[in-house]
Amino acid sequence: MRNLIIFIRRYFNFFLFLVIEIICLILVFRHNLYQRAAFLNSSNKLSGDLYRHYNDVQYYFHLRITNDSLAHENARLRNQLLADFSLKDTSGEKIMTIKDSTGERKYRYITAKVVNNSVNTLMNYLTIERGSKDSIAPNMGVISSNGVVGIVRSVSDHYAVVLSLLHKDTRISARLTRSGNFGSVRWDGRNPEMATLTDIPRNVKVYRGDSVVTSGYSTIFPENILIGYVEGFTEQKASNFHTIRIRLATNFYKLQYVYVIDNLMGEEQKLLEQSAPHE
């Protein structure tokens, strides 16, 4: 026993190093710890506030592009207004007057200001100035006026950390518009403007410029939200699937405002899917 104590005292520094290092590595590899330890990420009060002050300055340099993208979005939404279509067909009238008894609200959009964003590491996150007090919760989808941005990872009272699409662990269920085939979008860690769409079978014809949208299969994103456009594809002989390079619709360099999507029926869908028997 005495020898043991002497041994430990002699190598005290080494053991201390080992203990600290192991604690750090536990933090790294226990992903589920992440959501609970909100004080250890940029949604905490101090770093959130610092990032906000920094953004107050930086914001002015992006005003023009922010304005442009908001104006474009307004125009696009206006083009979808029913009042802008002349409805000669009487069936159109009918559609307008029918009250759908199941027309319950499914998605709710919450605007949020981006206070921090990075694009230059393998694991990029955004910090947004909306938190649990604004009814933001983990696993909500985040989109910009141009396309998909990411998924909420953890929240504090006033801030939330968003797992960017530009993160090596992000997978988003996607669909090719022309063929309707489903795949999965992930980032290859290189260019913040490009991503890869995988799991599209090789017999499917892929067109350049075809748009890639969200599939609506997960509870996170609604259907038909733009992710990007097909830029090119390679056919690997050994694989049964295409590897499609897509140009992302969202400009991650100059992100200022995003929408957080609250799926009001998400909980219900998840519960149902969990209770279904798995074979």
Partner 1 sequence: MKNMIRFILLLLLQVFVLNKVLIHEFVNPYIYILFILLLPFNLPRAALLFCALLMGLSLDAFMNTMGMHAAACVLIAYIRPFMINILSPQGGFEATQKAPSVTTMGWAPFALYAAVLVLIHHIAYFSLEVFGFSNWVYLLLKILLSSAVSFGLIMLYEMLFYPRAGK
Contacts of residue 249, Cβ cutoff 8 Å, sequence gap at least 6: 146, 147, 148, 226, 227, 228, 229
To partner 1, the closest distance from the beta carbon of 117 in angstroms equals: 9
CA 33-219-205 angle, to 5 degrees, is: 115
Phi and psi, residue 245, nearest 5°: -90, 130
State which residue, 11 or 85, has the beta carbon closest to partner 1: 11
> Shortest approach of partner 1 to residue 47 CB, angstroms?
5
CB of 12 to partner 1, least distance (A): 7
> For the chain, what's the residue count?
279
Residue whose CB is less far from partner 1, 110 or 119: 119
C-beta closer to partner 1: residue 31 or 99: 31
Tell me if residue 163 falls in helix, strand or coil.
strand
Which two structure tokens, joined as six digits, stand for 30?
């226990």
Q: Which is nearer to partner 1, 39 or 217 (CB)?
A: 39
Please state the closest distance from residue 26 (CB atom) to partner 1, in A.
7
Q: Give whichever of 176 and 185 is closer to partner 1, judged by the CB atom.
A: 185
DSSP string for residues in 65-131: HHHHHHHHHHHHHHTT-GGGS---SHHHHHHHHPPPTT----EEEEEEEEEEE--SSSEEEEEES--
Shortest Cβ distance from residue 258 to partner 1 (Å)? 17
The Cα–Cα gap between 270 and 279 comes to: 17
CB of 188 to partner 1, least distance (A): 9
Question: How many degrees, rounded to 5, is the angle at CA 94 between CA 89 and CA 100?
Answer: 145
Q: Which is nearer to partner 1, 164 or 181 (CB)?
A: 164
- CB nearer to partner 1: give 35 or 132: 35
Non-local CB neighbours of 131 within 8 Å, separated by 6+ positions = 43, 155, 156, 157, 158, 159, 160
Q: Which residues bind partner 1 (CB under 8 A)?
A: 12-14, 16-17, 20-21, 23-28, 33-34, 37, 39-42, 44, 46-47, 50-51, 54, 118-123, 125, 153, 161, 168, 189-191
3 versus 32: smaller Cβ distance to partner 1: 32
Closest separation in Å from C-beta 17 to partner 1: 4
Per residue, what are the HEC states of 9-28? HHCHHHHHHHHHHHHHHHHH
CB of 245: closest distance to partner 1 in angstroms?
Answer: 16
Contact 135, 261 (CB under 8 A): no
